[in-house]
């Protein structure tokens, strides 16, 4: 059985792999529902929405998780992927604006902790040479 946070991270990474955007994760554990997370994402076309749903399913199955059901694959404007404790809504932007699921699930989206990228040692820059200032000629004034 996959840990909830690991599954959540896996879903978001799968969506990012296929260039999904406006990805939000809502914690629904406090609500009387059968799942603990709702993930909402957008795709630019029906083809991309289907590809995003396929990628999520593929990654979950590769990791030993179970996909309980998929709805809306034929139309491609809105695909729902049921992963048990996580439900993923992948939508075309116009459909997403119309149904406004963010308002239904409400609250603040879950903040995702990203793995810290590996950093290289900073490169040292050569010290800058200071420019010499010119001395002003004494007693010179502009006349009007």
Domain range summary for the chain, segments of one domain joined by +: 4-104
Pairwise pLDDT comparison (101 vs 116), residue with the higher score:
101
Token output for 94: 């116009």
What top-level class would CATH report for the domain 4-104? alpha beta
| Across 109-128, average pLDDT | 52
Token output for 109: 């989206």
Pairwise pLDDT comparison (120 vs 102), residue with the higher score:
102
| Residue pLDDT, tens place only, 69-105 | 999 988 889 999 999 899 999 999 999 999 888 887 7
The CA-based angle 84-87-92, given to 5 degrees, is 155
CA 84, CA 11: separation in Å to the nearest integer?
A: 13
Classify residue 81 by burial, with Cβ atoms within 10 Å: 0-12, 13-18, 19+: buried
Taking 70 as the threshold, does the pLDDT of residue 106 lie above it?
no
Residue 16's pLDDT is what? Answer: 94
CA 9, CA 112: separation in Å to the nearest integer?
A: 8
pTM (global) more than 0.85 = no
Residue 2's pLDDT is what? Answer: 76
Q: By the 8 A CB rule, do 70 and 56 touch? A: no
Token output for 138: 């004494």
Residue 37 phi, psi dihedral angles, 5° rounding? -135, 145
Taking 80 as the threshold, does the pLDDT of residue 107 lie above it?
no
Q: By the 8 A CB rule, do 60 and 11 touch? A: yes
| Across 115-127, average pLDDT | 48
Reference 9, options 49, 50, 65; nearest CA is 65
């Amino acid at each position: 059985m996959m840990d909830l946070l690991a599954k959540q991270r896996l879903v978001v990474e799968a969506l990012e792999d296929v260039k999904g955007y406006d990805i939000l994760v809502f914690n629904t554990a406090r609500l009387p529902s059968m799942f603990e997370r709702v993930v909402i994402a957008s795709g630019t076309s029906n083809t991309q929405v289907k590809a995003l749903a396929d990628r999520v399913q593929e990654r979950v199955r590769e990791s030993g998780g179970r996909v309980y059901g998929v709805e809306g694959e034929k139309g491609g404007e809105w695909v729902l992927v049921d992963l048990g404790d996580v439900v993923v809504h992948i939508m075309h932007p116009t459909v997403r604006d119309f149904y406004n699921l963010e308002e239904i699930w409400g609250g603040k989206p879950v903040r995702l902790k990203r793995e810290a990228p590996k950093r290289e040692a900073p490169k040292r820059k050569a010290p800058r040479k200071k420019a010499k200032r010119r001395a002003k000629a004494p007693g010179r004034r502009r006349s009007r």
